[in-house]
Structure formats: C-alpha cells, structure tokens
Structure 1
Amino acid sequence: MTRPAIERVLHGLVDLHCHSGPNPLPRRFDHVEAARDGERLGMRAFLAKSHHHNTVMDLLAMADRLAGVSTAVYGGIALNAQVGGINPYAVEMSLRMGGRCVWFPTISSSAHIDHHNAGGGFPKPTVPLTMTQVDVRGPDGALIPEVGRVIEIIAETGALLSAGHMAPDDIREVFTTAREAGVRRMVVGHPNFVIGSDPAQCREFVELGAYIEHETSMYDPEVAQKKWGPEVLMDWIEQVGPEHTVLASDLGQAGRPFPVDSFIRVGSALLDLGLPEKDLQQIVRVNPSYLLGLDD
C-alpha cells in the first residue's frame, strides 16, 4: 500500500498509549510535540501515560501551548508507588480535573517486578526512585477496600479502567468487580508482554466488557524483537476479533520512533496480511474513541 493510501486509512486514529514527557524516564518528546506530530496523520487524540504521575496536571500547565493543535491530548493516573498505590484520593483529583483513564499498577505490579527482575529491559529513570510493590489484594486474598472506591469513582465519571501490568488473575477479579459496579470502559494492554496472558484468557476478559490493546512498538520492524512479527498480531486480532481489539503505540521513549511512523508501518503490514481496511479503522479509530469517551 502506498504512503498516501495508508495515511488515508489511519486518518483520525486515537492512540491510547503514548509515553510523552515530562517523565522520570527518558522521553523523545513532550505532550505538545507529540500532539503536533500527530497532526501529520490527522490523529484525533492520544492518551498521555506516565508510570509515575498524574498527567492531567501536565496538560493543564501546557494548555497555552496545546491551544490550536488539532490533536487533542488527554491524561490520567497510574496507581504505582509514586502516587501512593491504590489511592482513591489521587484518582478522584485526576478524574475530576479532566482525566480519562486510571491504570491499575504498572511498574509496581508483581507481574512487572517479576518481569523486570528477570531481565525485561525496562529503561532506568533519570533520577533515583524508590520502587515497591503495590498489591490489589489483602492478606486474605480479597480485593482491598481502596480498589472498590477507585472503581466507584471510575464508574461515576465514565473513565477508562486499564489493567495496567497486573497478572491475569488480578485482572479478572478487578474487571469482574468493575463490571458489577457499572464501569463501561476497560482495557488490557500488551497481554503477551509482562502480563503473560493468552487469547483464550483475553476472550474471558472480553466477556467482562474489556478490549484488548496491542502496541505498534512490539510489532514495528524498527524496534520489535523477532518473536513479535506482524503475523503474531494478526493472529491475536483474528482470535479476539477486531471489534474487541485496540492498536496503540506505547511509544515516546528516547531513541524510539514517533508513534505516527510506527502506526504507518504496522498498519501497512496488517493490510498486507489481509486485514480489511474497515477492521484496521475499527481498531485504531472506532474502539479507542469509545474507550476515551470522545463521542459521548
């Protein structure tokens, strides 16, 4: 497919996983620079993710610079040690100030810590930071009360609940509780990286109302490991269904590609493998627009 053709198919995409800065981890660009670059592809919006802080405050401080940029930028909060773990007060502030997403523990989850300690290659922060594990369950194995309160706030605000980097059993428990509480938007990011989930398990999450997110950074030939060719992504889409799949970038790190270029390469590879254009638009535009609440 020619460059103009793939750009037409991807026009209006929404990236739910952009690691723009500022951040304690080295970043290639800040939120404004990422938004300006997104204009090249007519990117409708992206979600700015930090493992360490509430990105809503960044965006409010950058409002003057973001004015006039056609790509909208939204923020949220990840429930890691740096914000006090499962902290309903921090969640309430983030969402009531315009946040659109709550990521359950990512770098503080047991699954992430196990992966990183096994040589997962996660980048080192630019400043010294103390890391500790954040658990969603208490000693009795039940979800701690703070999880319930966080879920209530997500349900009240209509925000997106992300599984973060939790292990599959914890995802299932949190999603089941969230569904019962009325949460309408849930997503599992890179299930086959850190989390250790499989398509059958992810279909169970879909039954609970979740979407399954995959990252262009895992399948982009400029950055991906050989075990993650585009054929692997295509198989996931076929097994879970494009109506339940999201394609995001997980990019912004120093030394890695711009999200726009990665979307073009991976999107082209999927079309070459036979994915219909309408299905690609479903996973880059329709589904993430719903999850961010852009058409409510």
Structure 2
Amino acid sequence: MRVGVVLLPEYAWPEARARWRALEELGFDHAWTYDHLAWRSLAGEPWLGTVATLAAAAAVTSRIGLGTFVTSPNFRHPVPWSREVMALDEISGGRFLCGVGAGATDVDATMLGRPPLSPKARVDRMTEFTGLLDRLLTEDHVDFSGEYFAAVDARTVSGRARRPRVPLIVAASGPRTLRLARRLGDGWVTIGPEGAGDEARWWAGVERLAESMDALEPGPGFQRHLSLDACPGYSLSSAARFAEMRERAAGLGFTDVIVHHPRAEGVYAGRVAVLEEVAQLRAGAAGGAEGSRQP
C-alpha cells in the first residue's frame, strides 16, 4: 500500500524545504499540500500559496509524487488552473497529482465576497469544474458555458504534458461525487463520512463508501486514497496506530492512505519521530516482502 503525507503550507521556506526533502528521503510515495486561501484554526497564521509551494517542492525532490489536497473551486477557475497544472507537471517531471474537490465551507468559501453555496450547489460546481478541467487538459479550442464557469476558445498547447493528461484524484463522500470520481477520475480520495462522532461510526461510513465505489466497478489501476486523519484521533499518535489503520484501509480495498505531517501543537500535533518510525516500518516490510520472494 502506498502512503502519502500532507505538509501544510505554513512554514518559512528553509524549514519547508527540509521537510519536503525528508519526506522523499524517508521513502513515502506521495506528498501533498492544502489548496486554501486560509484554513480553519490557522486562518490567522502564516499560510503560503499552493502553486509556488509545490513548484518549489518539485525543485528540491526528484521521485516523490506531489499533489493538491485538494484543488478548490472556491477560488479557482478551470482555465487558468489548467495552465498551473501543466506547469507543475512540467516542473516536477511528470510527478504532479491533481486532487479535485468541492471546495471547503470554512473561511475561503466567502473570502472573495461570494455567498456560501448549498451542498447541492457545491457538487454542481465541482462537477462543472472537474469536467471542464478534464477537457482543458485533453482538448484544444475548448468552448463551455455553465452556471459557474465558462471557456471561450481555450487553447491547450503543450507538447510536454503527460498523455492523456495529469491524473485527477477526485474527492468524494457521497453518491454524486462517487459517480463523478468513477467517471472522470484516475483515482478517488475520501475523508469518510462527515460528522462521525467516534471512530467506530467513521470506519462504518468508510466501509459503506468503499462498497459504493465497488458497485461502480472502476477499472484496473483506479487509485483509492483514504485520509486517515479524518478519523477521530490522529493517525500518527503512534506507529502502532498507523499500522492498524493502514491494514484496516487495505482490507476495504484502498490502495493509498494519507496522513498529516506532525505539527508542534494544535491540529495534527505529534512527534516527527513517529513519522520516521512509520517510514522505517514500511521500509522493513518492503525489505521482508522482497526477501520472501528470493529463491
């Protein structure tokens, strides 16, 4: 199972650079950052731009996948965003992963002076955003007129972008978004059920979502990402807890799990030593599996 780590864009670059490099050196498969203008309890703290952060991370790494967790239609438009996607993929040497979601309901939902949307409207907007982005990354001379977005003869001229396009990892926790992920996504990411009051309810909701995705019969190679830190209780409180959660996710058919880099205090508070221990356990398990295949 692949493991990814979210690194919030809150650190001065010398510190952030060391953390992005360390994630690659520790052997993690992918690394992500949030796409927000500000975020929840950290809205009054330093918060840097997503694209510049990922471009800089691409320049100081060479192997690890790099992605948005997840792109927000709250303040993105598919036409300019498609250019950023192609640029990030070019700069990273084909390592960019474009997570796409409905847009959070917290501070950046109204920061540009727009009224908050209903849950249905947020999914409607996400559907437009994802469909238009898919076209912009695969077609030329794109015209589109929707309720939330429009494009007039949008050009897509890039001989170096991945074919058919950069992978889209679509966030989904309900029937409509699950179908959207199946239809347009190269993968699916979920935070599980909203409002789960305890861990048992959260895992039960995750199981139901996994069964719903199974019923849609995604093709081979379809990625299934589970954000472990949406579960009540931090996944990296100990290496043993992470290992138990990872195995449970694997049993539900997930191909990837995602955790958050430990912070000194507040949300995701923890110890970097646990992240390093998780990396060592993964390396040991991979080595053991390789050894078991030896004649």
Q: Specify the TM-score bucket, using the shorter chain as the normaliser.
A: 0.5 to 0.7
Q: 1:101 aligns with which of 88, 91, 97?
A: 97
> Residue 160 of structure 1 aligns with which residue?
167
2:31 counterpart of 1:46:
yes
Distance (Å, rounded) in 2 between the aligned partners of 1:140 and 1:78: 14
Distance (Å, rounded) in 1 between the aligned partners of 2:209 and 2:288: 23
Aligned-partner SS, 1:32: helix
Aligned-partner SS, 2:260: coil
- Letter of the 1:219 counterpart: S
CA RMSD of aligned residues (A): 4.9
2:213 counterpart of 1:205:
yes
User: Could you list the per-position Cα deviations for residues 36-87 of structure 1 after superposition, in whole angstroms to 9, with x for gaps in the alignment?
Assistant: 3225524465333433486333343577xx44x5565634474435524xx2
Aligned-partner SS, 1:261: helix
Q: 2:130 aligns with which of 147, 160, 164?
A: 147
Q: 2:18 aligns with which of 9, 33, 49?
A: 33
The gaps in structure 2 that reach 5 residues or longer are 38-47, 90-95, 139-162, 197-201, 291-295
> Residue 175 of structure 1 aligns with which residue?
181
1:1-296 mapped onto 2 (5 Å cutoff) = 16-22=4-10, 31-38=16-23, 40-43=25-28, 46-52=31-37, 55-60=50-55, 66-67=59-60, 69=61, 72=64, 74-76=66-68, 78-80=70-72, 82-84=74-76, 87-99=77-89, 100-105=96-101, 108=104, 113=105, 129=111, 133=116, 145-153=128-136, 158-164=165-171, 166-178=172-184, 183=185, 185-191=186-192, 197-206=205-214, 207-209=217-219, 210-215=222-227, 217=229, 218-222=234-238, 231-240=244-253, 244-251=254-261, 253-255=263-265, 256-257=269-270, 261-262=274-275, 264-265=277-278, 268=281, 277=285
Higher relative contact order (CA 8 A, sep 6+): 1
Distance (Å, rounded) in 2 between the aligned partners of 1:281 and 1:51: 39
Distance (Å, rounded) in 2 between the aligned partners of 1:90 and 1:176: 25
Distance (Å, rounded) in 1 between the aligned partners of 2:175 and 2:206: 12
On the 8 A contact 2:71/2:100 being kept in 1, the answer is: yes
Give the 3 Å change call, closer, same or farther, for CA 44–253 of structure 1 in structure 2. same
Give the 3 Å change call, closer, same or farther, for CA 211–30 of structure 1 in structure 2. farther
Distance (Å, rounded) in 1 between the aligned partners of 2:22 and 2:122: 47
On the 8 A contact 2:236/2:262 being kept in 1, the answer is: no
On the 8 A contact 2:78/2:133 being kept in 1, the answer is: yes
Distance (Å, rounded) in 2 between the aligned partners of 1:191 and 1:94: 28
On the 8 A contact 2:239/2:278 being kept in 1, the answer is: no
Aligned-partner SS, 1:158: coil
TM-score by length of 1: 0.55
- Alignment length (residue pairs): 230
On the 8 A contact 2:6/2:32 being kept in 1, the answer is: yes
- Letter of the 2:66 counterpart: Y
TM-score by length of 2: 0.55
Give the 3 Å change call, closer, same or farther, for CA 139–246 of structure 1 in structure 2. closer
Aligned-partner SS, 1:147: helix
- Post-superposition offset of 1:175: 1.8
The gaps in structure 1 that reach 5 residues or longer are 1-12, 117-123, 283-296
Distance (Å, rounded) in 1 between the aligned partners of 2:35 and 2:122: 29
> Residue 288 of structure 1 aligns with which residue?
none
Distance (Å, rounded) in 2 between the aligned partners of 1:236 and 1:279: 21
On the 8 A contact 1:45/1:74 being kept in 2, the answer is: yes
Give the 3 Å change call, closer, same or farther, for CA 94–30 of structure 1 in structure 2. farther
The structure number with the bigger radius of gyration is: 2
Distance (Å, rounded) in 2 between the aligned partners of 1:29 and 1:170: 42
- Post-superposition offset of 1:149: 0.9
On the 8 A contact 1:95/1:157 being kept in 2, the answer is: no
Distance (Å, rounded) in 1 between the aligned partners of 2:224 and 2:287: 14
On the 8 A contact 1:191/1:213 being kept in 2, the answer is: no
Distance (Å, rounded) in 2 between the aligned partners of 1:167 and 1:148: 18
